Structure 1
Amino acid sequence: MTVRFDGRVAIVTGAGNGLGRCHALELASRGAKVVVNDLGGARDGSGASSAAAQEVVAAIEAMGGEAMAHGANVAKFDEVQDMVQKAMDKWGRVDILINNAGILRDKTFSKMEIEDFRLVMDVHVMGSVNCTKAVWEIMREQNYGRIVMTTSSSGLYGNFGQSNYGAAKLALVGLMNTLVQEGHKNDIRVNALAPVAATRMTEDIFPQELLAMFRPEAVTAGALVLCHEEAPNRTILCAGAGGYATARVFETEGVFLPGEEQTPEAVVQAWDTICDTGRQSELEAGIKQSEKFLGQAMAWMKSQKG
């Protein structure tokens, strides 16, 4: 199967540099019309310039593709709405949204100013919310949409000095999980990408000799799988240096403790069974946890009557 995007319109945020630039160029090379969004700020979110986004548009047009630049700050809903409206005015639809824009304000939690935490949350979380909200009804009405959240191993597993970034990135997994359920009947598929690539966001992390292995193109290959016509749904795809894996949340079967045994001491005593991964499962919705616990309680009640 050849992955193509002919006739599709894609919005890629933070597309002036790094992964977003790579996503935009590859989508365009495979037939998509692309909105290249970039505020043009530094990696800490300061400053603004349209030069990077315009360069990407020029590169797409040079290959015979169609693109437009927009400098919306994703943390400002009115600017995002303007971007989406301009895409609709020009091409009449929006099929794909890759929420890629992000910033870093790394410090240990004890040294971090609360404003550094708030700004990172605003850009990553509210930026993704704003862009998704702006295209949601369009995708519902056309009964088609592909949305990619950009999460991170920092959110899935934690990283020293990135409490703000990690909190924001895991929040996007929670957003994905609910949007998958709400978008299902209109064929809106929502997935998350957990990338590792050599970009200005990671240039201080890897030794120079290893940076060449972490090509953005390797991550983009995964990103395009998450937003094409046959995309999966509710998948966290991890990608970097040619490696690809999925991350999933599982819950153990646990135990049921009747009323008189619902004490801290009883929980401690049952701890090994509570944590036993032998019968773990992936729950497709939060209500499934409630159903599991209710089922355990009802089974116990039945056993008492028997």
Structure 2
Amino acid sequence: MSTLSFDGDVIVVTGAGGGMGRCHALELARRGARVVVNDLGGHPFGGGSDPGLAESVVAEIKAAGGEAVANTASVATADGARSLTEQAMDEWGRLDAVVANHAILRDKPFDEMTLDDFDDVIDVNLRGVMRVFHPAFKVMKSGGGGRIVAITSSAGMLGAHAQANYAAAKSGLLGLTRSIALEGAPHNIKANIVAPGALGTRMHLAMVESATYHASADADLVRNAKVAASLKPERVSPIIAVLTHSTCPVTGEVLCSWGGWYGRFGITRNAGWSGGAELATAEEIVDHWGKVVDQSSARDAGLDAFAGQH
């Protein structure tokens, strides 16, 4: 088994002041990457700032013999997001990978959710990722390639109670990242998504402490020592190392990391039913509904199956 060494690659990790982002930054630095540690230090539900979070992770990396710089800009602005790529280039003259780990929560039942609750989460969790990826993609394209990783959620793939805003943003990352994978392929740019599971992060603890919609269930998980141990955030980081390494084996995939289990979410398309050349009626569709939704005929649909389709 060969060792995945980064040999001075430069990697930006957003939301790296705590939780999973911190673990990703430490793991990548341990393997030889030079890391731009980005974190505004805001509250997991939005608002506020604390530059000490990013700075403390940089101190950890340096104490272990690694190289890192802190970035406390907000990805909620184009200038702030652009500064990550600019700092990497100014400091080390290259950018090899970006991990967009940042996110906020604003959980509420859908009928109680305000437009601000929805827009704020979309702005950070989806538009903020686009703002980070856009300048990075340009540098990677001109520099011969790179790796881009977005962090989604099972909520984004499957939906979740009281998380319509969060799920919509995380689902949006699927289309964003797979499109980047298609456009990046000719330029040796690979783009993938990770759906992780972890306890004890800043976001998770904030949910428990604030008694939000999912607080009771999450508190039960935290109290379960066996579950909490298996879902430590550092157990997500190995898949991040794989996807940010120059030997990254895939693009356009949704990978999963839950408590030491690693897998993928597939996107499938079944055989369905066709009415032929004639215009099908609603009644005919109902009559053939079994074929329309038949999953026994479903097959995995990779990027090529959807390229150019609308």
> TM-score, normalised on structure 2?
0.90
How far residue 279 of structure 1 moved from its aligned partner, in angstroms, is 2.4
Q: Is contact 2:267-2:302 (8 Å) kept?
A: no
Question: Which residue of 1 is the match for residue 223 of structure 2?
Answer: 208
The answer to which of 96-105 and 280-289 deviates more is 280-289
Q: Percent of pairs identical after alignment? A: 40
Tell me whether 231-240 or 157-166 shows the greater mean CA deviation: 231-240
**2:102 aligns to what?**
101
Deviation at 1:256, TM superposition (A): 1.1
Q: 194-203 or 259-268, which moves further after superposition?
A: 259-268
The separation in 2 between residues aligned to 1:237 and 1:119, in whole angstroms, is: 26
Map 1:106-145; keep pairs closer than 5 Å: 106-145=107-146
Provide closer, same or farther for how the CA distance between residues 132 and 290 of structure 1 changes in structure 2, counting only shifts above 3 A.
closer
Q: 1 CA distance for matches of 2:61 and 2:267?
A: 38
Aligned counterpart, 1:57: 58
One-letter code aligned to 1:160 = H
The structural deviation recorded for 1:109 is 0.6
- What is the letter of the counterpart of residue 284 of structure 1? G
**Cα distance 1:288–1:156, how it changes in 2: closer, same or farther (>3 A)?**
closer
2:241 pairs with 1:224: yes
Does the CA-based 8 Å contact 1:74-1:130 persist in structure 2? yes
User: What residue number does 1:247 align with?
Assistant: 265
SS of corresponding position for 2:69: strand
d(CA) in 2 for partners of 1:284, 1:241: 26
Q: RMSD over aligned Cα, in angstroms?
A: 1.6
Amino acid at match of 1:84: T
Report if aligned partners of 1:283, 1:289 keep a CA contact under 8 Å in 2.
no
The alpha-carbon deviation at position 15 of structure 1 amounts to: 0.3
TM-score, scaled to structure 1 = 0.91
Q: Following the alignment from structure 1 to structure 2, what is the Cα–Cα distance between the partners of residues 262 and 41? A: 53
Secondary structure, counterpart of 1:3 in structure 2: coil
1:69-88 deviation digits (Å, cap 9, x = unpaired): 01111121111222321221
* Gap change, CA 1:289 and 1:14, over 3 Å in 2: closer
Distance of 1:27 and 1:46 partners within structure 2: 28
Deviation per residue, 1:179-229 (Å, 9 max, x gap):
111000111000101011111222332232232221111101111111111
Task: Tell which structure's C-alpha radius of gyration is larger.
Answer: 1
Q: Name the SS of the counterpart of 2:111 in structure 1.
A: coil
Structure with greater contact order relative to length (CA < 8 Å, sep ≥ 6): 2
What secondary structure is seen at the aligned counterpart in 2 of 1:246?
Answer: strand
Q: Which of structure 1's runs of 4+ aligned residues deviate more than 4 A?
A: 285-291
Counterparts of 2:303 and 2:39, CA distance in 1: 34
Whether contact under 8 Å (2:84, 2:132) holds in the other structure is no
Partner SS state of residue 44, structure 1: coil
Distance (whole Å) between structure 2 residues aligned to residue 224 and residue 129 of structure 1? 21
How far residue 162 of structure 1 moved from its aligned partner, in angstroms, is: 0.5
Q: Structure 1 residues 277 and 24 mapped into 2: Cα distance closer, same or farther (>3 Å)?
A: same
**Worse-matched range after superposition: 75-84 or 6-15:** 75-84
Distance 1:53 1:126 in 2: 22
2:297 is aligned with 1:279: yes
Match of 1:151 in 2: 152
CA displacement at 1:278 relative to structure 2: 2.6
Change (3 A) 1:289 1:90: closer
Could you give the per-residue CA deviations for residues 12-34 of structure 1, whole angstroms, max 9, x where no partner exists?
Answer: 00000100000001100100000
Question: Structure 2: which amino acid aligns with 1:107?
Answer: K
1:82 aligns with 2:99: no
Separation in structure 2 between the aligned mates of residue 46 and residue 286 of structure 1, nearest angstrom: 41
Shift of 1:245: 1.4
5+ residue gaps, structure 1: 292-306
Distance 2:112 2:41 in 1: 27
Equivalence for 2:7: 6
